Structure 1
Amino acid sequence: MSSTHLTQRTVAVKPITVPAPDRSGDLQVKVTAPLSGQNLPVIVFSHGNAWSLDGYEPLVDRWAAAGFVVVQPTHLDSRRNGIGWDDPRFATIWRVRIADLHAVIDGLDNLLIQAGGLETRVDRERIAVVGHSWGAQTAGALLGARVLDADGVPGEDFSHAAVSAGALIAATGAGDTLTPLAVEHLPFMRPDYSTMTTPALVIAGGKDQSQLSTRGPEWFTDAYHLSPSPKSLLAITEGEHTLGGLAGEMVAETTDEDPARAALVADAISAFLHDAFKLNDAAWTDLNNAAAASDGTWSIASK
């Protein structure tokens, strides 16, 4: 696992408001980027439940140091908005989350200008979406996944033509084994991955036991197994839902704190995207070789 000290200097700009006229409240984002470099690829990141643009620095800082411009919106479910399950807006937040990512991508030029002249340094042909937990389901929609209704009929296609790769961390699995809690409050957690054709890396922890499914940790590998190729799966044997502390060091929900594990997740996504974008395949090749020699603590599969 990688825990290399970062030497590339980066800069972050926040908050930047993105036009979203039909949204309840402003859509604000944070942009993190390397101080130098041209033709930089873009990662649009969707946070997990209750988080905001101020989280996930263990991921974002490493991605920016690796040469990505990272855009982090704050979704309506952020704890700073105080929207609980009993709020009438909650039932549609999953759709607003997806709309947030579309608004970011569609308004990319303007927000890059506000971020300090980044519009001249970005490669608009290389845009990825990445998400963790609820954010993974959100990002998956832009990669082509759909949501099944109560009768098992796939819903609307939310894929975005500008997105050419992605990564899903601890993504919702198939919804036929949801717990009563999830059925009552989160009926949209029924993804259909059969239409998720965009190249993606799926990351799952071997000790990630969700309270929303009656299945075990393998539930979080469905996005890999149930989607068409090309896909890759990074399985981390001892990883729990926060995979070492992705949202931040020593945050309350991090039960498996391990900075090296969080760094592995970040670096695997950077390596995968550099390969998917045909920028450089060396890091992804090295990571696959390291996985083969890892004594089973983590593994990579591809199809």
Structure 2
Amino acid sequence: MSNAQNISKRLPNLGDHALIGESAKLPINDATPVISMSPVVLPAPDRIMDLHMRVSAPATGKNIPIILLSHGQGSSNNLSSLNGYAPIAHFWASHGFAVIQPTHLSSRALSLSPDEYPEAPWFLRTRVIDMKLILDELDQIEALFPQIQGRLDHSRIAVVGHSAGGHTASRLMGARGNDPTHETYEDLFEPRIKAGILLASPGDGRGGDGLGPAAANTDLKYHSHAEMKTPTLVVIGDSDGFPFLTTRGAEYHADGYYFSKGPGSLLTVKGGKHGLGGVSGYDTSEAADDESPERLAMVQRMTWAYLRSALYPDDSAWSAASAALDGLPGLGYVEDKLPGQYQSS
């Protein structure tokens, strides 16, 4: 008798992780197969080295909206590069987005020394310039990955950043330094980006007050969201007391919501720490005290819904997801504001 004949009950094919719990109640479209290419190497003669990226997209379809994903710093050897962030990059791609993940010069995979490169180790400005280069060269990126050529919608572009990557994303959406005499006051706003998400992102620098020891000696001490104008979802964990960045606790990461002048939403993840359930990688030591398939699934679905509605105003995904989350208070909650409602004085 064959093994197949001994099976009394077959299970459904593999879908969502079995441990996502209440997050399964949040609405989402059907997943589709994903194609991914790495490395996609974009020539960058004005950079220390060419820009290495991973590009992931649905295997079929046209007019695919684009997400630029900026990695964090982190202590791991590989997640701060094109090899990280699979839990969100693959999810978004399987649900209809093209995701472009550059390896910034701040990556631990490169480990560039401050002794040789003055902007190291954070490379805060260079990160932003990386994203502008990608936007300038979308046609070339498509040509380097023929399976997606002619399939991307260059008019619907979002930026997402986690941790230090949130600083990158916020600068592209209009945030800048608060001191007109300092170089961080430079306006790097990018009008081609129509929406963004800040995941456990740096808050306002306040001249260094409230910053952790590693961040206080960087340009983060000048950072201000007062001029951020692009529609933005800010995602924080209510247990994110990440001392590497701040001594203010979780409230620090919400500054992009409260102090920006643009329309925005705030998603608070119950029990979430700096990894927000594990956005940067699967089964990693970086998220060892924060790994949760349920929290991760909530962040995946809510961020997907936000970007769908932000890039397609007639799409009700965000209102539907927010309404569903209202009935799941153990997962988190959403706040929304109109332009200028909480603008910093």
Do the structures match in fold with TM over 0.5? yes
Give 1:123's match in structure 2, choosing from 129, 153, 173: 153
TM-score, normalising length: structure 1 = 0.93
Residue of 291, 294, 301 corresponding to 1:267: 301
Q: Which among 70, 89, 100 is matched to residue 71 of structure 1? A: 100
- Residue identity in the other structure for 1:193: H
Moved over 6 A (4+): 150-154
Q: Is 1:149–1:188's contact at 8 Å kept on the other side of the alignment?
A: no
> Which residue of structure 2 lines up, in the alignment, with residue 299 of structure 1?
333
Matched, 1:208 2:229: no
TM-score using structure 2 length? 0.82
Whole-Å separation in 2 of the counterparts to 1:103 and 1:235:
32
Measured after TM superposition, the shift of residue 295 of structure 1 is 2.4
Deviation at 1:182, TM superposition (A): 2.3
Deviation at 1:31, TM superposition (A): 0.4
Q: Distance in 1 between the 2:329 and 2:70 partners? A: 32
Counterpart code for 1:48: G
Query: AA paired with 2:324?
Result: A
CA distance in structure 2 between the aligned counterparts of 1:193 and 1:259, rounded to whole angstroms: 31
Equivalent residue for 1:56?
85
Moved more, 63-72 or 274-283: 274-283
Q: Which residue is 1:142 aligned to?
A: 172
Give distance in 2, aligned partners of 1:246 and 1:267.
12
Quote the offset at 1:148 in angstroms.
Answer: 3.1
Cα displacement (A) at 1:113: 1.6
Structure 1 residue ranges without an equivalent (≥5): none
**Which residue of the other structure, out of 221, 237, 250, is the alignment partner of 1:217?**
250
Post-superposition shift, 1:84? Answer: 4.6
| Residue 31 (structure 1) aligns with | 55
Residues in 2 aligned to 1:37 and 1:259: alpha-carbon distance in whole angstroms: 29
Give me the whole-angstrom Cα distance separating, in 2, the residues matched to 1:5 and 1:260.
18
Residues 119-159 of structure 1 show CA distances to partners (whole Å, capped at 9, x for unaligned) of 31111110111100000110111111112349789611111
Quick check: 2:29–2:95 contact (8 Å CA) kept in 1? no
Change over 3 Å in CA distance of 1:228–1:10 after alignment to 2 = same
Q: Secondary structure at the match of 1:80?
A: coil
**Equivalent residue number for residue 173 of structure 1:** 203
> Which of the two has higher C-alpha Rg?
2
Q: Distance in 2 between matches of 1:6 and 1:245?
A: 22
Kindly provide the CA deviation profile for residues 214-265 of structure 1, in whole angstroms up to 9, marking residues without a partner as x: 2111111000000123101100120000011111111111021112211221
Alignment root-mean-square deviation, CA: 2.1
Secondary structure in 2 matching 1:48: coil
The count of aligned residue pairs is 302
Q: After TM superposition, give the deviation of residue 187 of structure 1 in Å.
A: 3.0
2:229/2:262 contact within 8 Å kept = yes
Q: In structure 2, what is the equivalent of residue 159 of structure 1? A: 189
Q: Deviations over 1:73-98 (max 9, x none)?
A: 00111111112555533167111111
Specify the SS of the correspondent of 2:156: strand
Write the letter of the residue equivalent to 2:103. Answer: T
Is 1:242 matched with 2:275?
yes
Q: Distance in 2 between matches of 1:91 and 1:261?
A: 30
